[in-house]
Amino acid sequence: MIPKGSKVRHTDPEIDDVRGVMIVFAIAHGFALCGYPDRLGKELENYAITDLVLIS
């Protein structure tokens, strides 16, 4: 289970290299809205929860 506010990485190495560690802002219908607290000039993106790995 990935809770809202947790830190995650993507399982696809190409996406993970670009996006790195993201914060989960919202979860709905099996998808997580992920991004960065300060946005770093990047848009928020939706990813399937099954494609994300929870990190501590």
Determine the pLDDT at residue 6. Answer: 96
Rg (CA), the chain: 10
Determine the pLDDT at residue 16. Answer: 95
CA 14 to chain CA mean position, Å: 14
Determine the pLDDT at residue 5. Answer: 94
Mean pLDDT by 10 residues, the chain (56 residues): 94 94 95 86 90 93
Determine the pLDDT at residue 42. Answer: 76
